[in-house]
Structure 1
């Protein structure tokens, strides 16, 4: 709900303020003070009815505060029971569906496929399951909007200290070590002159490097807890594919070969196939200051092509710290991701499908990697320099060593079609150059 109009001098706005105060004290059960939602206080301080009234009339209410969760409004409450503009009180403005109603219908269990009008065309014979513990824990988080975003959605990240020389992670059995097992470098930053371990204001020691890892399982589970994206995760299997047309990775040979080699995985279309993206970049605007941080991102290929490559569909898996790129030591930082990926492949994780209102065991696999040629060499461990730089041509790589500049160049790599290939007869389709 929201107050009618934006003009604080308007009589409808003043009436709306009175209605809000009456509503808030009635819903919260408070008798003396409530949180003030004015632009100045932003629900961070409490005030008496007179103070809240004065603030709302003077500063105005927060424009985005349309769902009054600080003042007793609950999910599923019918916002249209309140008077609208034109009624005797003229207090509330209803301009269609509440902007909070659509996502909450997807996420909250009372609205997530349990409505009477969404019982599979009214059939009462269809067996419907309750969400599992993980799904219910997620739905309950919507009752508390006062926490930061990560805590509300349960999608936090882990901080894992790393060796300053990229030798190891202070993780699992090595979590309590003070020095690197390989190079013996100190785990904590030290003062240049004093040599003492540096600490923050709260007394905690400052590590040399920190890997930020975003767990994969809860992020994949979220894709199925929304009824819209849950159905999209089956799109690759339920669509009508065009023969001979490559519209989606599932039309490609790699996907099809994978399904043939792993029939138990492919028998469940909701099992997730992922693409991994990684490359280094300078997060600072000053190019003269060399710094390379490596994000590792994942793309769920189950989604339709117009969805999976959107920024909102890509999942950040980890941030490998700088100032230098990890090089071939990136496998050190990939350990948490590989371990979780193995678990998703071998064991899976119980997941709630909001579109079908049922629980299932979800598995995941890494299908492809997306990167430029230098990053390809880092991720795969293949040297992209020297005589055998091409991983496809291998020993047949055509190279030439330039004596004056001491570099390898790769000439004579034009490849011709087979003598009987059908494209050889379609000269008008290709350009002359």
Structure 2
């Protein structure tokens, strides 16, 4: 089905015909034709309405430019039914905001690798903060860096952040790098303009962390009974950093440990039926016939 009408003016005949074709397609494939997810720019497949209301929204707000593969309006497709046939139909992830008049069109090589995870993770009736952030992450994960690019926005940000961490680059220098790289890319690129925007994208991954002050000799963490201590009770080293002038800089920790909680990561893994099946393989699907088939078969 030709979807080029999505990018045309809303007062053209092509757009009108395209809207009617979409509504027929959505109504034929909907489990409940009276309540269909609205793909307009404002609703972004988060809300359900009758066909008449959706038609009005599409003319008033326009069609979501990033929603080219109508996965949330197709029942029983191969990609969705292969994950879990009993999973309820989810709301769609919001379309990424375009940086120009026309958003980048995903190339055929950028097949949806995270749709199944999103499909299995969220119910259309649950619109909490966590699900919204995760769907935004999915949108960024699948959005091309620019039209025709084989690299996604998320993949580009992760590579640059890895490079920043390896060479201990300051945020000010990272800002200049992002600005320079963005200026060398086509005008429709979605490269974040600064480090702050790049971190916001990565925060949707759910990779939250906790910072703990640590003893320079790794004796203790300043938490629990030692949360207010100013020196290590074992080696007696100061908790605070020593300045170049030899004076102790109060409230500036000498060493910091970054702790990544495991529970949010388990939640992410178990949101997908396919991933959770792999996580529970050792206890549910492993063959137990007294033979050594896997390291998990050993008592040690």
Q: Could you tell me the TM-score, scaled by structure 2's length?
A: 0.41
Q: Which has the larger radius of gyration?
A: 1
Structure (1/2) with the larger helix percentage: 2
Q: Could you tell me the TM-score, scaled by structure 1's length?
A: 0.30
